[in-house]
Amino acid sequence: MPSLQPVRGTHDLLPEEMRRHRRVVESMVDCVFETDEQGRWTHLSENWTVATGHRVQDTLGNPSWAYVHPDDRARLVNALQSKGPMRLAYRQIKRDGTPLWVEVNASVVRDPATGRAREIVGIIRNIHEQKRAEDKFRALLEGGPEANVIVDGNGDIALVNARTEALFGYARDELIGRPFEVLIAERFRKPGSFQLAALARPLETGARRKDSSEFPCEIRVNPLETEGELLVSTTILDISDRQTLQDQYMLLQLGEKLPRFDEVEGLVTYVCQALATYFDVPLCFFTEIDLERGLSIIHGEYRRSGPTLLGEHQMSEFTPAIRHELESARVVSIADVSTDLRTADEYAERYEPLGLRAIAAVPLLRKGRWAANFFMADAQPRRWTAREIQMLQALVERTWLWIEHVRMLRALRDASLELERRVDERTRELKAALSEKDVLLKEIHHRVKNNLQVISSMLNLQAMRIKDDGAQAVFAESQGRVQSIALVHETLYQSSTLSRVNFAEYIHTLVTTVMQAQSSPDRNIATMIDADGVSLPVGCAIPCGLIINELVTNSLKHAFPERKSGVIRVGLHARATNRVELVVADDGVGLLPGLDPHTLTSLGLELVYTFAEQLGARVERQSQNGTEFRFDFPVQEDL
């Protein structure tokens, strides 16, 4: 009877595996079940209903022992509480109340992290008829669903059933009297007689049919004593379906571990070792084909002994027949290279020094071209099974995909590092250029400021030579305008930011300079400056500074004709997004009513409106309790 290994529950399978698993389960004659760790049903195949009459949906969630005959219930509960593998025959109570002899074979699935029991999985087999038959014909084996073989004390076959004939392809007369080993694949045979009586637990091995084909099997033995003669009753189970699930699980485990590798050699070596261990072969290796250079490159291998094969090999090392088959995308399966027509002539030269006697190779084509191979080899003659070939085919495809994945990641990593290198290099270049630009801009602002100071000094010298007071005043006003522009460049030269002027600081300096130039000792004109931390680009700062210069100068000259004191206010505030409001006001006599700025004869006010137009400013003026100018203008960065 199958023995379910405690590897994992069906819920751990991938969706495709689940569907395949479901098909296998539903095709079985037994009822497949799962319970939680407390023994409550969590899954039952439809055979449960067929066998007992209880509907699956009515059964799930109930304790498994609730459907067991009262006399057998304690044994089942004890088996469940043991939390170990379980094989037990007992009476199940059918829906109609009649007992049904069943045999349950179950294993515990444990949490890999904690080791605690997570669920119990197994199968329930209906052995009711078998029980009845045992009562009547214990020696008769024909009704058994598996291959049953009775072996005598000499290890020879004494009796077989019909299932054995069907499974192995022999007529029973061909088997009676022959050693039991005839049913075992040659590579699994032990020296001397096959000691069945010594088997204390089920044995998984390889069986061999009459046509020499092989299949995985499980052998269970039961010693029998009949009139003093020791006989061994053996049950041989074809476990191909179980091994299919095991193969899928092995591929799943590889798929979970391969992403951890970031280099090809380690990845391929791990796959080769896993495959060699799984199929018990002494040599396994993966080769990449470079047709342009005529090379076969072995990236990784597993070898129990002997020299390594890693590295580059000439394509001429393949025999012509083997190369032709691989290049044509045909699987190569050779049971004995010393006798096979494709390799026998070169066995002594090519294969015997490497300790190779049997080889299996699966090629991989990409875009119609031979790209890679996966090899398994044995030091002894070996007939490769379809299962082993299928696994090779699955692994050569997966391995190549993961090699491409690793190479792609490496290329991306290298590209990323190269990009970072270029970015760092370009950043350094830009920083150097920017630093050089900053130095040049500072020098330009410094020289412009110096040149404007020269102009201011020239105007001052010229004014000193003029005797006319009106002309001297004109020169003084021009000198003040030049100084206000020079002050912008001086502020930029002293600033850490060369593109914008800290205008709050600039206003304080500019107003102080104008006051010193225009005020007389007998006047007490105060200034009030209210400026946010607004910074302006050079294109806005110069006309804005000239407006302040003109209006403050104008207030000092005309706002207080009869007074010795007064107040001049200057304010600058950020209003909306990218807009600024400038206010210049005094508490003097104010402008004449009805004054039209477009007909002004004063150069100062004419310049104020000209500079406001340059700024794109909206200008508001009022002359109540003095004069107040408001300028609302957008702030645009210099191009």
Lowest pLDDT segment from 29-33, 110-114, 456-460:
456-460
Q: Which of 271-285, 312-326, 603-617 has the highest mean pLDDT?
A: 271-285
CA-CA distance, 342 to 221, in Å (whole number)? 42
What is the per-residue pLDDT for 493?
A: 52
Transcribe 179-239 into DSSP letters: BGGGGB-GGGPPSSS--GGG--S-EEEEEE-TTS-EEEEEEEEEEEEETTEEEEEEEEEE-
User: What is the residue extent of each domain of the chain?
Assistant: 10-134, 139-242, 261-384, 499-634
Q: Which of 169-178, 241-250, 318-327, 377-386 has the highest mean pLDDT?
A: 169-178
Q: b/e string for 514-534 if b means 16 or more Cβ within 10 A?
A: bbeebeeeeeebebebebeeb
> Under CATH, domain 261-384 is a member of which superfamily?
GAF domain (3.30.450.40)
What is the per-residue pLDDT for 510?
A: 79
Mean pLDDT over each residue of the chain, to the nearest integer = 80
CA-CA distance, 582 to 507, in Å (whole number)? 11
CA-CA distance, 528 to 212, in Å (whole number)? 111
Helix axes 264-279, 240-257, angle to 10 degrees: 160
How many Cα atoms are found within 13 Å in the side-chain-facing hemisphere of 139? 6
> Under CATH, domain 139-242 is a member of which superfamily?
PAS domain (3.30.450.20)
CA-CA distance, 500 to 510, in Å (whole number)? 17
Beta strands 524-531 and 565-574, pairing class: parallel
Residue of 525 and 481 predicted with greater confidence: 525
% the chain with pLDDT above 70 = 78
- 440 in helix, strand or coil? helix
Single-letter residue type at 458:
M
499-634 and 139-242 share a CATH fold:
no
How many Cα atoms are found within 13 Å in the side-chain-facing hemisphere of 100? 20
- Burial tier of 139 (Cβ tally within 10 Å: 0-12, 13-18, 19+): exposed
Gyration radius of the chain's alpha carbons: 50
CA-CA distance, 124 to 2, in Å (whole number)? 10
Q: How far is CA 509 from the centre of its chain?
A: 61
Global pTM reads 0.43
Domain spanning 499-634, CATH class: alpha beta
CA-CA distance, 491 to 506, in Å (whole number)? 7
CA-CA distance, 119 to 121, in Å (whole number)? 7
Q: Could you tell me which of 355, 375, 373, 377 has the C-alpha nearest to residue 364?
A: 373
What is the per-residue pLDDT for 213?
A: 86
Structure tokens at 378: 């044995």
CA-CA distance, 121 to 2, in Å (whole number)? 12
Mean pLDDT, to the nearest integer, of 57-67? 91
What is the per-residue pLDDT for 193?
A: 43
Mean pLDDT, to the nearest integer, of 317-326? 85
CA-CA distance, 512 to 183, in Å (whole number)? 114
Reply yes or no on whether the pLDDT at 466 is more than 90. Answer: no
Say how many residues make up the chain. Answer: 639
- CATH of region 10-134: 3.30.450.20
Which phi and psi angles does 225 have, rounded to 5°? -115, 120
DSSP state of 282: S
Q: Could you tell me which of 418, 636, 430 has the C-alpha nearest to residue 544?
A: 636
Mean pLDDT, to the nearest integer, of 508-536? 79
| pLDDT tens-digit series, residues 103-155 | 999 888 888 888 888 888 989 998 888 777 556 644 556 766 788 888 888 88
- Burial tier of 221 (Cβ tally within 10 Å: 0-12, 13-18, 19+): buried
- 484 in helix, strand or coil? helix
Spatial strand order of the sheet with 524-531 comes to 524-531, 565-574, 579-586, 627-634, 618-622
Look at phi and psi of residue 492 and say left if phi exceeds 0, alpha if psi is from -120 to 50, else beta. alpha
